[in-house]
Amino acid sequence: MEPRARAVLAVLLLLAAQVTMATGETRCNPGEYEVTSLCRCSKLCPAGYYVSKYIDQDHSVGECRECESGTFRAHPSEESSCVPCSQCREDQEVVTECFPTSDRLCQCKQGNFYCDSVDCTESCFRCKRCEDSTILHPCNATRDTVCAVKIHPEAGKV
């Protein structure tokens, strides 16, 4: 190929790459991502895995490694590391442990409820006690106790 033809081809390839980046379009198939530095498409690593080595062939899978203990990746991904698992606070207990495909879930310890109002900081509060009234809804991990309103007859009326 003569030098002028090579130069025209290089410009066309560069323009095609810029159009792809500008429009967000890719030549990759669903379930793949573009490795821009290699101009290749790679299949995503499955949930619970991360990319440990990028591909050397187009439309193939790179090297995927399972997330280490204490980390997870909930969805298929092109990321080169897993996400650290959440830690429960002292006023919380573990509902579900962390697994390679899901984060740890925490809730307030029994006898406490979580205050999710804008007026509250992120912490658990002790459940309200119903003094001399009936409990309409018991306290749980997401809401406080709801007590029945006790109506007192007015003094002096029969």
Q: Is pLDDT larger for residue 133 or for residue 38?
A: 133
Output the pLDDT for position 21.
47
Give the model confidence (pLDDT) of 143-152 as tens digits.
888 998 877 6
CB neighbours (10 Å) of residue 155?
5
Identify whether 123 is part of a domain. Answer: yes
Query: Mean per-residue pLDDT for 96-125?
Result: 82
In one-letter notation, the amino acid at residue 145 is T
Decide if pLDDT at 122 tops 80: no
Give the model confidence (pLDDT) of 29-56 as tens digits.
888 778 766 677 888 899 999 998 876 6
Residue in this structure with the two tokens 């203990």, named with its chain if needed: 69
CB neighbours (10 Å) of residue 38?
12
Cα distances (angstroms) measured from residue 124 to each of 20, 61, 98, 142: 49, 45, 21, 9
Identify whether 35 is part of a domain. Answer: no
Identify whether 47 is part of a domain. Answer: no
Identify whether 42 is part of a domain. Answer: no
Q: Is pLDDT larger for residue 15 or for residue 157?
A: 157
Query: Rounded distance, CA 144 to CA 127, Å?
Result: 6
> Which domain range does residue 131 map to?
110-151
Output the pLDDT for position 81.
95
Query: Mean per-residue pLDDT for 57-67?
Result: 79
Exposure of 38 in the CB half-sphere (CA atoms within 13 A): 16
Output the pLDDT for position 70.
97
Query: Rounded distance, CA 128 to CA 136, Å?
Result: 12
Identify whether 96 is part of a domain. Answer: no
Cα distances (angstroms) measured from residue 16 to each of 8, 19, 21, 22, 61: 12, 5, 9, 10, 25
Output the pLDDT for position 31.
80
Identify whether 122 is part of a domain. Answer: yes
What's the chain's average pLDDT? 78
Identify whether 70 is part of a domain. Answer: no
Tally of domains in the chain: 1
- β-pairing, 60-61 with 40-43? parallel
Identify whether 89 is part of a domain. Answer: no
Output the pLDDT for position 158.
52
Query: Mean per-residue pLDDT for 65-77?
Result: 96
